[in-house]
A and B are shown apart, each in its own frame.
Chain A
Amino acid sequence: MATFESVQPTSHPRRANQLGWLLKIGPVYLTLVMLIFTAAASQPSFLKEQSIRNVLVSSTPLAIAAVGQTLVILTAGIDLSIGPIISLANLTCAVWMKDHPESAVGIALLCALIGLLIGAANGYAVGYRKLNPFILTLGMGTIIRGVTLSIKDAPGGAVTRDFMQISRAVIGPIPAPVLYLLVLYLIGMYMLKKTPYGLSVFAVGGNENSARLSGIRTRRVILSVYAISGLLAACAGIFLAARIGSGDPLVGDAFTLDAVTATVLGGTSLMGGIGGLWGTLAGVLIIGILNTMLNLNNISTFYQWIVKGAILIGSLAFDFWRQRRHT
């Protein structure tokens, strides 16, 4: 089925293609809208500018990391080293910046480079050595976690005041993080839908063999998506350093699975070849709104877990039920 879906864009007239696209990303936005209504109904302050801004800014790191996860999952892979890379970049950024506040920019770039290299190593092992991505990135993540904890096993470090502006700056009425997201997702969507590279990402996920036989350098594509994922995870970690003001060796823990969840909620198939960033953005916002809403309503963390797990399973089950009804 994956192959048929991924071939569709070229074999169907443009109009039908667009309709299919709407159907595919529809349900997640429906969930999102329903969630916003529920949130607004239960807590009127939810629609205030302040809380909307809160949701957006606090969702930013996940939104950044989820772009990489989406690319990886589109190639039928998975990246479980995202959380550890976020923690590593976050901690090293803050620890180094405390000692060398004068070279803040260089340090941030170095942290991003480290993320890129780790991702490239993942991509090399998966693409060229054909190692199973789940286990490989799990192992890589465990190693990075160890490295991070050996650098510092408690929160610490500090970023410069100027550096904090990365997360706090406001351009006109719009917080800077929202602009980052807009730019990142627009570039990502353009790249996925309109460039040969994007097409090759879908092709590799749809059927790696036929992609290779049709001339796509599949191994290079796989290497690139993991490298991008590593780079973006590091960026998320650096952003968190700017937002919190210090480093924390465990700050990334929840992000690995949240990024998978956001991607899958957004309709990207774990089998690869189907999905995209539009859905992921909605998935990220669903997670962000859920967190804010459950907190605003004073629901204990304990029940929040139950609700989140149920929504995760429920929305995918609903998606299957809906698809079966249509076909």
Chain B
Amino acid sequence: MDAALTGGRNLLGRLRHSSLSNPAAIIWIAVLALLIVAGLVSSGFVDGAHLLNVVRQSSGLGIVGIGQTTVIITGGIDLSNGSAITLIDVIAATLLNGSDQLLIPVVLLCLALGMFIGLLNGLVITKLKVPPLITTLGMAIILRGIAYVYTNGAPKGNTSPVLKFIGSGFVGPIPTQVIFWVVITLLAYVALQRTPFGRYIYAVGGNLEASRLSGVQTDRIIVLAYVVSGLSAAIAGLVLAGYIGTGSLSLGDGYDLNSVAAAVIGGTAFSGGTGSIIGTAGGALFLSMTFSLLRFLGLPYSNQLMVQGAILIVAIYIYARSQR
């Protein structure tokens, strides 16, 4: 929290915080190390086009991870983002039905829907005092139900050319998704580190009572955090919808817990008050690089799961030690 509150005030403090004890630095060093290991164990993995493809695979997770990180910093959790992605995808595919005619209204509708889901989560959590875990879990079940009811179990339709370009096109050699991810990450970074909103997010997660007493409208900040999470799920939903090009009822599966994993691996503490968007981006990249490497080496899905679990445990072990 200190880092966030005084962030950018003096150069010395900043340098000290970007040392090895900074989780965001640890994860990016880990990403580099993984890259070197990958280069050693397999030729062909560390190749420009292939690496860009790996980065592309992590953009969806990276985008949802932004919202998840914001929520976890306030001391909450959002397990409804995976179902939100699925719902956004089936709605976009059905309404667009392959043409760009309705693109802008549909995109706006989807973004509004994501924010509305977040708003509901936030209101239930702050006004009705239902724990975040249960609220967003219940919301996830409801959203999945709605997605099935809406499509009657058989999703129809296609996304439009523009959306497909965002999801699977290239600008020069770089996948459009990646550009999208980088831009959104930078925006979110600025919002969290350089604005009063960002400072309040950290303050609320660091000490709810103290922030309330110092005049922060804590409920409003928490609600806003969930709105950000809903919005980032909607953006990820649209990007992923563009990538697969059709409606799918399983598109968002796994994004709920994987986004938590990306945030935690990136150094966001589950107790709230600390964490960073840059760390989460590293976490998302590290996870999908590992999976990609394991697939590259021909290891089955079951091994990926074991490695993923081990990464999570090692990450919290390292961060727990570095805090002492």
Residue numbers of A with Cβ under 8 A of B are: 78, 125, 129-132, 134-136, 138-150, 153, 257, 260-261, 264, 270, 300-310, 312-313, 316-317, 320-321
Pair A142/B309 contact, Cβ less than 8 Å: yes
Residue numbers of B with Cβ under 8 A of A are: 77, 124, 128-131, 133-135, 137-146, 148-149, 152-153, 257, 260-261, 264, 270-271, 300-313, 316-317, 320
B270's contact among A132, A264, A304, by CB below 8 Å, is which? A132
Q: Tell which of B137, B261, B300, B302 has the most Cβ of chain A within 10 Å.
A: B302
Pair B313/A150 contact, Cβ less than 8 Å: no
- 17 A-B pairs with CB atoms under 8 Å apart are A129-B320, A131-B317, A136-B316, A138-B261, A138-B312, A143-B309, A146-B302, A146-B309, A147-B306, A150-B300, A150-B302, A302-B153, A306-B142, A307-B145, A309-B140, A309-B143, A320-B129
- A307–B135 Cα distance when bound, in Å, is 14
- A321–B149 Cα distance when bound, in Å, is 31
| A interface SS class | helix
Pair A305/B148 contact, Cβ less than 8 Å: yes
Q: Hey, which chain B residues are within 8 Å of A261, CB to CB? A: 134, 137
B136: nearest chain-A partner, CB-CB: A313
- A264–B134 Cα distance when bound, in Å, is 8
Pair B260/A309 contact, Cβ less than 8 Å: no
Q: A131-B316, A138-B261, A147-B302 are in contact. Are A305 and B145 (CB under 8 A)?
A: yes
Q: Hey, which chain A residues are within 8 Å of B149, CB to CB? A: 300, 302-303, 306
Q: A142-B305, A146-B305, A149-B302 are in contact. Are A308 and B141 (CB under 8 A)?
A: yes
B306's contact among A125, A138, A146, A301, by CB below 8 Å, is which? A146
Q: A140-B309, A310-B142, A312-B141 are in contact. Are A130 and B148 (CB under 8 A)?
A: no
Pair A145/B142 contact, Cβ less than 8 Å: no
> How far in angstroms is the closest Cβ of chain B from A20?
20
A271: nearest chain-B partner, CB-CB: B131
B130's contact among A138, A139, A150, A313, by CB below 8 Å, is which? A313
Q: Hey, which chain A residues are within 8 Å of B134, CB to CB? A: 260-261, 264, 270, 312-313, 316
B271's contact among A132, A142, A146, A147, by CB below 8 Å, is which? A132
Add 10 more A-B contacts to A139-B311, A146-B305, A301-B148 (CB < 8 A).
Answer: A130-B320, A135-B312, A139-B309, A139-B313, A142-B308, A146-B308, A150-B306, A261-B137, A264-B131, A306-B146
A313's contact among B138, B146, B152, by CB below 8 Å, is which? B138
- A56–B144 Cα distance when bound, in Å, is 27
Q: Hey, which chain A residues are within 8 Å of B143, CB to CB? A: 309
- A305–B149 Cα distance when bound, in Å, is 10
Q: A257-B137, A313-B124 are in contact. Are A138 and B257 (CB under 8 A)?
A: yes
Pair B309/A131 contact, Cβ less than 8 Å: no
Pair B313/A131 contact, Cβ less than 8 Å: yes
B131's contact among A132, A141, A270, A301, by CB below 8 Å, is which? A270
Pair B260/A138 contact, Cβ less than 8 Å: yes
- A310–B146 Cα distance when bound, in Å, is 12
Pair A313/B133 contact, Cβ less than 8 Å: no
Pair B139/A309 contact, Cβ less than 8 Å: yes
> How far in angstroms is the closest Cβ of chain B from A309?
4
3 nearest interchain CB pairs? A146-B305, A305-B145, A142-B309
Pair A317/B313 contact, Cβ less than 8 Å: no
Q: Hey, which chain A residues are within 8 Å of B146, CB to CB? A: 306
B148's contact among A142, A264, A302, A309, by CB below 8 Å, is which? A302
